[in-house]
Amino acid sequence: MNSDNKKIPALICYVVALACFFLPFMQISCQEMNLEVSGYAMATGTVGDSIAKDLGKNSPMGSMGMPPGGQQGDMQSIELLLAMVALGIGFFIGLNASSGTIKTAAGLGAVAAILTLVSIPKVKPGMEGMIEVSLRIGFYGILVGSLAGCVLHWMRLKAIDKETS
């Protein structure tokens, strides 16, 4: 299998990882409420809008207690934003067939995976018993897609090295 045939699966992994940013990234549970937040909302700082929308659906009082955008910026994850950018750049760079760009695309996949791990939210001290944060499919999809794309790009690089020697 030549390098161009291995390009497709690696790029598909990055596309899957990027799509997972729009799936639930984490669930915040407190008492009787469960709120899901996407990776995109965390990366762009629109978590407040997402929570207000969920409160409007789940609460009998609606979102009267929380105006849209009230939490904006408070829960923005720069790490997730950088992971999303790294995956996007890695996708476009991975379209090229030179060994340097393949190494860069693989490296960007590894960076995205590390940034995703760093972005795992933590409950503030003293709130551990009241609030529970659990990771969802979006987190795991971003992590697995990034790592799989990274590995497949390295395999693609090995195929190029075999073809040239």
The arrangement of strands across the sheet holding 33-38 comes to 33-38, 24-30, 131-135
Give me the number of domains the chain comprises.
1
- The arithmetic mean of pLDDT across residues 137-152, rounded, is 96
CA angle 49, 27, 89 (to 5 degrees): 70
- The arithmetic mean of pLDDT across residues 131-153, rounded, is 94
Q: What is the reported pLDDT for 16? A: 97
Instruction: Compute φ and ψ for 45, nearest 5 degrees.
Output: 80, 20
Give the span between the Cα atoms of 14 and 36, in whole angstroms: 23
Is it the case that residue 70 has pLDDT exceeding 60? no
CA angle 77, 16, 141 (to 5 degrees): 55
Helix residue ranges per DSSP H, the chain: 3-19, 39-44, 47-58, 78-94, 99-118, 137-164
Burial group, residue 87, by CB count within 10 angstroms (0-12, 13-18, 19+): buried
Is it the case that residue 160 has pLDDT exceeding 70? yes
Q: What is the reported pLDDT for 69? A: 42
Give the span between the Cα atoms of 135 and 118, in whole angstroms: 13
- The arithmetic mean of pLDDT across residues 129-156, rounded, is 92
Nearest to 80 by CA among 37, 51, 50: 37
Q: Could you tell me the residue range of the domain that residue 100 belongs to?
A: 3-164
CATH number of 151's domain = 1.20.140
Q: Which residues pair with 34 in a beta bridge?
A: 29
- Structure confidence at residue 74 as a pLDDT band (50, 70, 90): low
pTM, 2 dp: 0.81
pLDDT tens per residue, range 33-53: 888 999 999 999 888 776 666
- Range among 62-66, 87-91, 118-122 with highest mean pLDDT value: 87-91
Strand-pair category, 131-135 with 33-38: unpaired
